[in-house]
Amino acid sequence: MGFKSKLWIVALVFGLLTVVATLGLGKESFFGKSLHATGNGMKYWYETKGGFMELTGIPYDKPDCKTCHVQSCDACHAEKEGDKWVFSGAMAHQSTTCLKCHSREKVTFDVDKAINSLDVHMLAGFTCSRCHRGHDVHGDGTPYESMRSPGAMKVNCRNCHTPDATEAPQFDADLKPHKVHGDKLDCAACHVRSTLTCNNCHFDRFMKTGSRKGTFIVNKDWLLLVNYRGKVTSGTAMTLVTGNKKFVGYGPYLTHSVFKGHLCQDCHANQAVQLITAGKKVPIFKFEQGKPVFWKGVVPAVSDKLDWVFLDQKDDKWLPITGGPEPLVQWVTYGSPITEDQLKNLAKPQKAEEEPTGK
């Protein structure tokens, strides 16, 4: 074999290795370090000190959790043409592609559509990729712990909603709610209608059957307020059980249920705030006459002031767990509870407003 032939083969092999790396299959690919590829977000909080693994003793990779995450570009870019598969950029820009894996968002859209309160961006015909662009999807070569880690996500309301925006509603700093709250609140605190949450995830049942179906209870009746990076923002909670051990995880979370905005009285001196300031607990999840009953409205997340029921599952029936240790409580994604001073501000009654146009 001549020198030129050998050189051509070397070049061809190098080219193929480059393509493999570009597709996310090579160890040095920057996409291979992205959260889509590694799943580090959920894994990190599950396995870290104080995480749910302290109760289960089962590593994150043992259940099917790791199978959710992208192993190659095919998951988003493969499109069938006849009897062959081809690479497609358009497929990655379709929301249906994202929602195959991001099932919580799909349920959110289904729930909101059923009650005629779909996210304003969805009503405007947006797809996921309109806001979540290359960096958010493919990463930047940094192996972030979580999507809430500084630098992990570039999506931000103010990317589009600027004072001089022409293709989106302008941000008006002189609007009364903006002037009053200033930089104390993140946009999501006021503009997320309610949060979707999974309650009482029954880990033992899931491990036994290998299926999530029927092992948890979904609701979208309330919105938690939490602290994140110096601002109050929207949050959520997730409760889990294993044996008679109970777990509650709190953290910031943006449910894609954006709307015109909450009224002052939705948050200030509402029923949940009144209960907490009176030294009582908010019964955020109850179980009455064999049925789950959820709190409705905005709730400041003060972890020892939210009351949860925990259920076991026997023959497809939910039964309250009595006794056992107190729930293990974890704050995830760098969130923290509402402070005493913030609670005092929330306790101040505000003049009742009328429904804003477009709610």
pLDDT digits (tens, 9 = 90+) for 71-126: 788 999 999 999 999 999 999 999 999 999 998 999 999 999 999 999 999 999 99
Q: What is the pLDDT of residue 354?
A: 66
Which residues fall within 8 angstroms of residue 145, CB to CB, at 6 or more apart? Answer: 40, 41, 44
Read off φ and ψ for residue 90, nearest 5 degrees.
-65, -35
Q: What are the angstrom distances between the C-alpha of 72 and each of 94, 228, 359?
A: 18, 32, 41
Q: Give the chain's radius of gyration (CA, Å).
A: 23
Q: What is the pLDDT of residue 188?
A: 97
CA distance 85 to 59: 35
Look at residue 19 and tell me whether its pLDDT is greater than 70.
Answer: no
CA distance 219 to 198: 7
Look at residue 236 and tell me whether its pLDDT is greater than 90.
Answer: yes
pLDDT, mean of residues 167-173: 91
Among 42-46, 65-69, 112-116, which stretch is predicted with the lowest mean pLDDT?
Answer: 65-69
* Higher per-residue confidence, 207 vs 292: 292
Among 2-11, 93-102, 212-221, 253-262, which stretch is predicted with the lowest mean pLDDT?
Answer: 2-11
Per residue in 299-357, pLDDT (tens digit) is: 999 979 999 999 998 888 899 998 889 999 999 999 999 999 999 999 999 887 766 54
Q: What is the pLDDT of residue 70?
A: 82
Q: What is the pLDDT of residue 67?
A: 64
Look at residue 2 and tell me whether its pLDDT is greater than 60.
Answer: no
Look at residue 230 and tell me whether its pLDDT is greater than 80.
Answer: yes
* Higher per-residue confidence, 356 vs 214: 214
| 205 neighbors 217 (Cβ within 8 angstroms) | no
Q: What is the pLDDT of residue 71?
A: 78
CA distance 267 to 106: 27
Q: What SS3 class is residue 264? A: helix
| 165 neighbors 135 (Cβ within 8 angstroms) | no
What mean pLDDT is reported for the chain? 88
- The 10 Å Cβ neighbour count of residue 20 is 13
| 273 neighbors 343 (Cβ within 8 angstroms) | yes
* Higher per-residue confidence, 358 vs 28: 28
Look at residue 24 and tell me whether its pLDDT is greater than 60.
Answer: no
Which tokens in the block code for residue 91?
Answer: 């497929």
pLDDT, mean of residues 152-171: 92
Q: What is the pLDDT of residue 12?
A: 46
pLDDT, mean of residues 139-161: 93
Task: Please provide the size of the chain in residues.
Answer: 359
